[in-house]
Amino acid sequence: MSAAVTERLVDLLVELVDMPCVTGDEERIACWLADRYDARDEPVRRVGNSVVVGEAVDERPVVLLVGHTDVVPPTDGDLPARVQGDRVIGRGTSDMKAGLAVAMDLFEDDALRDGPVQLQLIAYAGEEGPHEGNELAPLLEARPELCDAALGIVLEPTDLEVQLGCMGGLHAHVVVPGRAAHSARPWLGVNALTAAAPLLAALDRRQPVDRQVDHLGFRDVVTATRAWTDNAHNVVPDRFTINVNYRFAPDRTLADAEAELRAMVTELADAGVTVDIVDRAPPAPPHRDHVLVRRMIAAAGGRVTAKQAWTDVARLAAVGVPALNYGPGLTGQAHQAGEYVPVGNLAPARGALAEFIATATGDGAHVV
């Protein structure tokens, strides 16, 4: 891959990173994307602050290049974007403006657009916020023709690996009951906070559970991520709430996982503890045997692992579109202060994707 390609990708990435677009503030980048492709006479459809570019015009299979535009709030060292040595530094460089830059550059390549698949670019808002604020679901609902795509490629950070499937996730508010009393006379009450100690210790001791799905290793994990009381500082709390996050492999449904989590808390906690599921995100199957997935794995040099996280491949799978994760970003840099992406990851990611796009349905491959 030429130095000119790397330079072009770096310049585009810096431009994208320098557009502030913390979750909920994506209008500027949505307008910028719409204007960019309007000027290129591309079909542009906007749903909220999300943009779809391109359309299916013939019988060739459609491949979706999918990236979110929003980022988590930057720290002082995360802006402006800058190139230092072999890194591009700035909020969103790895998660996932580098992937978005690669997707845009591929979509703008006329030679690839004339190849065996049709490309459509999806740049959507709200991925880093609450599940219900993610705009990919309403976008797919508003543009149902996207659900006929042969494959979705979500350009999340994957360290240049093809990462298949994704974990499902549940957030539950687990409430440990007590009885209120003045803190000067605690013997008149039952302290819900200290009563929760055995449950917290049990959750901390619980080990990840290894799962195999399509010969890929996923790990179920349960984590206490937040805890709080609603009482004044001089009151023995009558309830203590723990947010428990359950990440589970894609060999079970949301209903299965919810039943498992409730049973788990019941086993670990004293009677009277309640479980309220407050957020649900479905898993996605790996689709490892799908012909296009196999071809993308080959184009990436055979590097394939399970996605030990949740991504929007799950939303695509829910509407019948097989999808995979592949991008130039580093998973370990997501949301880090001083976030960066290696310059050397940009062109190889583009090259692997370009090879896949150019050969996706060749040599007798059959897309079903």
DSSP string, 305-358: EE--S--THHHHHHTT--EEE--SS-GGGTT-TT-EEEHHHHHHHHHHHHHHHH
Cβ-Cβ contacts under 8 Å for 118 (sequence gap 6 or more): 54, 56, 57, 58, 60, 61, 62, 63
- Active-site residue flag, 127: yes
CA trace torsion 81, 87, 92, 95 (10° rounding): 170
- Asked if 43 and 131 count as a contact pair (C-beta separation under 8 A), the reply is no
- Active-site residue flag, 355: no
* Euclidean distance between CA atoms 162 and 299, whole angstroms: 10
- Asked if 306 and 213 count as a contact pair (C-beta separation under 8 A), the reply is yes
Distances (CA, A) of 293 to 114, 288, 367: 21, 6, 11
Catalytic residue from among 26, 95, 108, 127: 127
Nearest to 165 by CA among 120, 215, 208: 215
Catalytic residue from among 70, 78, 156, 220: 70
Nearest to 299 by CA among 222, 344, 353, 350: 353
- Asked if 357 and 62 count as a contact pair (C-beta separation under 8 A), the reply is no
CA trace torsion 76, 77, 78, 82 (10° rounding): 140
Residue with tokens 């619980």: 206
The residues assigned a catalytic role are 70, 127
